[in-house]
Structure 1
Amino acid sequence: MTLRYETVDVFTETAFGGNPLAVVLGGETLTAEAMQAIAREFNCPETTFVMPPEDPAHTARVRIFTPGMELPFAGHPNVGTATVLAWRGEIFGRPVGDAVVFEEAIGAVGLEILRAGGAAIGARLTSPAMPTVRGSFDPSAVAAAVGLSDPNIVVARHAPAHVAIGATFVIAEVEDLDVLAAARGDAGLQVKHLGEAAPPLVYLYTREDAGPDTLHIRSRMFAPRAGIPEDPATGGAAVAIAGLFASLWDGSLDIVIDQGIEMGRPSRLDVRLIRDGEGERITVAGRCVAMMRGELTAL
Structure 2
Amino acid sequence: MAEFQFQQVDVFSSEPTKGNPVAVVVGADALTTEQMAAFANWTNLSETTFLLRSTTPDADYKVRIFTPQTELPFAGHPTLGSCHAWLATGGQPRGDTIIQECGLGLVPVRSQNGCLAFAAPTLQRSGSVEPFLLRRVADGLKISFSSIRAAAWTDNGPGWLSIMLGSRKEVLALEPDYAALSDLSIGVIGPWDTLQDGKQAQFEVRAFAMSCGVNEDPVTGSLNAGLAQWLIGSGLAPEHYIASQGTRLGRAGRVHVDQEDGKIWIGGVTNTLVTGVLRL
Cα separation, 2, equivalents of 1:165 and 1:107: 11
Which residue in the other structure is 1:127 paired with?
A: 120
1:137-182 CA distance string (max 9 Å, x none): 434321112232334322xxx3x22222122211011232332222
- Structure 2 residue 86 is matched with structure 1 residue 102: no
Give matches, 1:62-211, under 5 Å.
Answer: 62-88=63-89, 90-91=90-91, 99-114=97-112, 121-129=114-122, 132-138=125-131, 139-154=134-149, 158=150, 160-191=151-182, 196=183, 200-208=184-192
Residues 74 and 156 of structure 2 are in contact (CA less than 8 Å); yes or no, is this contact kept in structure 1? yes
Relative to the length of structure 2, the TM-score reads 0.88
Cα separation, 2, equivalents of 1:21 and 1:108: 20
Q: Size of the alignment, in residue pairs? A: 271
Gaps of 5+ in 1: 116-120
Cα separation, 1, equivalents of 2:246 and 2:222: 15
Secondary structure of 1:240's counterpart equals: helix
Cα separation, 2, equivalents of 1:203 and 1:125: 19
Secondary structure of 1:3's counterpart equals: strand
Which residue in the other structure is 1:220 paired with?
A: 206
Residues 61 and 103 of structure 1 are in contact (CA less than 8 Å); yes or no, is this contact kept in structure 2? yes
Secondary structure of 1:180's counterpart equals: helix
Cα separation, 1, equivalents of 2:14 and 2:96: 20
The CA deviation at 1:293 is 1.2
Structure 1 letter corresponding to 2:59:
H
Residues 158 and 212 of structure 2 are in contact (CA less than 8 Å); yes or no, is this contact kept in structure 1? no
Which residue in the other structure is 2:235 paired with?
A: 249
Cα separation, 2, equivalents of 1:103 and 1:174: 35
Cα separation, 2, equivalents of 1:60 and 1:217: 33
Residues 131 and 239 of structure 1 are in contact (CA less than 8 Å); yes or no, is this contact kept in structure 2? no
Which residue in the other structure is 1:118 paired with?
A: none
Aligned-residue Cα RMSD (Å) equals 2.4
Q: 1:251 to 1:190 in 2, by over 3 A?
A: closer
Q: 1:97 to 1:13 in 2, by over 3 A?
A: farther
Residues 185 and 224 of structure 1 are in contact (CA less than 8 Å); yes or no, is this contact kept in structure 2? no
Structure 1 or 2: more strand by fraction: 1
Cα separation, 2, equivalents of 1:286 and 1:148: 31
Gaps of 5+ in 2: 195-200
Q: 1:178 to 1:251 in 2, by over 3 A?
A: closer
Residues 186 and 209 of structure 2 are in contact (CA less than 8 Å); yes or no, is this contact kept in structure 1? yes
Structure 1 letter corresponding to 2:152:
A
Which residue in the other structure is 2:245 paired with?
A: 259
Structure 2 letter corresponding to 1:216:
Q
- Structure 2 residue 11 is matched with structure 1 residue 20: no
Cα separation, 2, equivalents of 1:81 and 1:97: 18
Relative to the length of structure 1, the TM-score reads 0.82
